[in-house]
Structure 1
């Protein structure tokens, strides 16, 4: 301890011998060393971290704004989904099942007879798969007046199931002074049925 005290006294004794300019220079140099050390070892590393945190904070704020916007729109999305589900159910109700196809085809034929048409051809064709539904076309040729044909198309459009009339072609038929002009009309009536892909089971492979 005595050696340490002696060293300190000698150090301060040397400082006392220095001029004011030398003392001021030592103070300034010491101050610069302290400030430089603080800046290099403490301030700059923390400043870099602060910049990184600020950048991350801005990114999080942008994500938060986007999340709030999505949360505000979620109710409208749910309403749209609910409406689409209702529309899908209505459309599915208009698509007949496989067991209803024969009675539906009979309804088309009966609509023509009730309208006063004479059938020359009524031929159901092979169905065409279109993914989740299948088209079932029926080739039709009838003879009758224009009014009879219009009534037939109207009756078909009023059926509970979807039936579209396509490829309508008309040509003049028999006519006389006593009776109205008859037309030979050919067309294709297309109905649809839903294909239940979930209900299908894959055939088991034989060993």
Structure 2
């Protein structure tokens, strides 16, 4: 049968005449079209039920692989720099220990008050008041406020502030107020709150 005859028969064929029970007598072109449709449905169904799930699983595995790779790189970096980290830890402990040693213990507070007193007098100031206030508890240290009132010239006050900053124990100055004393303006009255700190390890 020629191609023209096949096309003629296909044009004359009515799809309503198809009988699934007599598929063997269907025209060749119809059989070919139906076979292509069935093949396409099989491919589509296979992709939907099998390949699509495999792709999703592959993506999940790739994400897990990336996470494991990043974790491995982090661990490898830490392992390669372990000695450096140990050295840094020792250095930090030494630095922390040095800072803690600069914090006075309870038995050293009277000596600190004496140091501040001597610093004020050594700067040429008249010490009007030096009074330790109630201790304030913080997370891992205690704060020890000290009220200080001194009088003297501007340069003497500046010398005192600088000398307190240079004490071997940590002392910080806060709430500083200065007012002229007398009419000449030469003498000044300064009130300041000094704070020192005590480490509370094991309390």
For this structure pair, what is the TM-score category when the shorter chain's length is used for normalisation?
A: 0.5 to 0.7
Of 140, 159, 163, which residue of structure 2 is paired with 1:151? 159
Instruction: Give the corresponding residue for 2:141.
Output: 133
**2:187 is the counterpart of 1:182:** yes
- Residues 59 and 150 of structure 1: is their aligned pair in 2 closer, same or farther, counting only changes over 3 Å? closer
Q: Scaled by the length of structure 2, what TM-score is found?
A: 0.62
Long gaps (5+) in structure 1: 1-54, 201-207
Work out the CA distance in 1 between the residues paired with 2:131 and 2:123. Answer: 19
Identify unmatched segments of 5+ residues in structure 2.
Answer: 1-60
In the other structure, the counterpart of 1:15 is none
Q: CA deviation at 1:113?
A: 1.4
Alpha-carbon deviation of 1:196? 2.7
Match of 2:119 among 111, 121, 133: 111
User: Counterpart in 1 of 2:34?
Assistant: none
CA distance in 2, matches of 1:64, 1:191: 46
Counterpart residue number, 1:74: 82
Residues of 1 paired with 2:194 and 2:67: CA distance?
Answer: 59
Indicate how the Cα distance of structure 1 residues 189 and 61 shifts in structure 2: closer, same or farther if over 3 A, else same: closer
The Cα RMSD (Å) is 2.8
